[in-house]
Amino acid sequence: MPGFLQSLTRIGSYRSLLHAAAGAAIAVPVTPFALAVAVSVEADSRIRALLALLALAVLMGLLGLLGPVRRLGVGLANTLLGTRIPAPAGRPDAESRLRSGLWLALHTAASGILFTVLAFLGLGMLVPAVWLMGGQDRISLFWDEVPLGAWAVPFGLVVALVALVLTAAATLALRVGATALLGPSAAELTALAERRAAVLAQRNRLASELHDSIGHTLTTSTLQAAAAVGLVETDPAQVRRALGTIEESSRSALEDLDHVLGLLRDEPATKEPTRTLTEVDVLAVRAREAGLDVRLTVRGPVAALPATVSREGYRIVQEGLTNALRHAGPGEVDVRVEAGPEHLEIAVVNALAGPVPRPGRRGLAGLAERVEALRGELDAGPDGPRWRLNATIPLRAGA
C-alpha cells in the first residue's frame, strides 16, 4: 500500500487516461454499427442501451482478432502504459487472436467506465467552486438537494483524491491485463527462445571466426616483426618481404573484422571474406615466412568441395598453423588436406617444443563446434613427441 500511495506522485501512474482516450478513438468507427444493432430491436431505451454496449463489445472483440490490431494494441500498451510486451512476429496463432480480441473488448469497456466515473467525480469537484463563488445556498448532490457550507472544500479534496487513486489503479490494472492478454503465447515464447538461441549461436560463431582470423594474423605478424628486427642490418630484402607479409595479413584480418562487425551491427559489411581450402597454400606461405617449415600436401578435388565445408577446412588449417607457431616455434609442420569421395580429411602435425598445451582452449573448442556442426570428428592432442590435429568431415549424408 505505501508503494501504491507513493505512485500517486508520479505522472506515469495516470497513463490510463491516454490509453483510455486511445481506446475510445478505436471504438469510434465501430460505434455506429453497434447503435444500428440496438435501434433495430423493438425494446425499452434502457434495453437498447444495454444492447448497444454488448454489440460494441462483440464488434471490438472481433476487430481484435486481426493481426494488425494486435500489433497496434501492443504498441499502445508499451507507449502509453509503459509495458514491455515483445512485438508480435509473424502470423498470430488462434490463442493469440482470441486473447487479443478479449483485450480490445476489455480495453474499450475499461475506457468507458473510467471516463464515466471520472465525469461524476469531476462534478463532485465542482462543489467547492460553487460554494466559494457564492450566490447559491443549495446544490443537487447524489440526486438530492443539500445545503452548501464549509464542508464543500474537504469534500472536493476527497473527491479529487479518489479520482487520482482510481486513475492510478486503472493504470496498474490495464498494465497487468495488457501483459496477460497481449503477451506472447506459448508458441511465440518458443519461437522467441529459438531466435535468441540462434542469435547466441551466431555470436559464438563470429567470436570463433575472429579468434581464428585475428589470432592467426597477430601470431604471424608478431613472429615476422621479431625476425625482421634482427635482419634490419644484414638482410634488408628479407625485412621487406616480412613487412609485406605483415601488411597482407593485416589487410586480410581487417576484412574479417569488418565483416564480423557488420553482422553484429545488423548492417552489410563492405566485403564478405570467402576464404576456402583453395587458398590453403597462402596460409602455408605465411607460416613459412614466420619461420615454420611447412610441408603441404593437397589431394583430391578440393575446389569441388561444398562451400561451407571448404571454409571450415580453411579455418581448421589456420588454427593448426597458429597453434604450431605459438607452442612449437620454428620447426617442421606437416599439413595434409585430402578430399575423398565421402570424406574430407585434414591433419596438421608439428613437434612439441614445450609443455603440452592445455585442453579446452578457446581455439580448439571453437574448431570442435565447427566440425561437430558438420557431423564430423575432431581429434587433437599429443602423439609421442608431436602434436597432432586430425579432422574428418563427411561429404555425404550417412557417410
Residue 344 sits in a domain of what CATH number? 3.30.565.10
349 shares its domain with 204: yes
**In this structure, what is the dihedral angle of CA atoms 57, 59, 65, 69, given to the nearest 10 degrees?**
-90
pTM over 0.75: no
Compute the residue count for the chain.
399
Question: How far apart (Å, rounded) are the C-alpha atoms in residues 120 and 98?
Answer: 34
Question: How far apart (Å, rounded) are the C-alpha atoms in residues 72 and 92?
Answer: 13
- Give residue 338's Cα distance to chain centre: 40
| 399 domain residue, yes or no | no
Domain limit, last residue, from 184, 202, 217: 184
241 shares its domain with 390: yes
162 shares its domain with 212: no
Q: Would you call 376 exposed, middle or buried from its count of C-beta atoms within 10 A (0-12, 13-18, 19+)?
A: buried
311 shares its domain with 173: no
What value, to the nearest 5°, has the Cα angle with vertex 221 and ends 218 and 225?
A: 135
229 shares its domain with 173: no
Which one, of 69, 60, 54, 53, lies nearest residue 29 by Cα? 60
What value, to the nearest 5°, has the Cα angle with vertex 160 and ends 155 and 165?
A: 125
> In this structure, are residues 366 and 203 in contact, taking their beta carbons and an 8 Å threshold?
no
Domain that holds residue 177: 2-184
140 shares its domain with 269: no
The tens-digit pLDDT sequence of the chain (399 residues) is 556 666 667 777 788 888 888 888 888 888 888 888 888 888 788 888 888 888 888 888 888 888 888 888 888 888 888 888 888 877 778 888 898 999 999 888 888 888 888 887 887 777 787 777 776 777 776 666 777 778 878 888 888 888 888 888 888 888 898 988 888 877 777 777 777 777 677 667 666 666 666 666 677 677 667 767 777 777 777 777 777 767 666 766 666 666 666 656 655 544 445 678 988 998 888 888 777 889 999 999 998 888 778 888 888 898 888 888 877 667 889 999 999 888 999 999 988 766 555 544 556 777 787 788 788 899 988 888 888 999 999 887 555
134 shares its domain with 248: no
Helix and strand numbers, DSSP H then E, in the chain: 12, 7
Give the torsion sign (CA, 15, 16, 17, 23).
positive
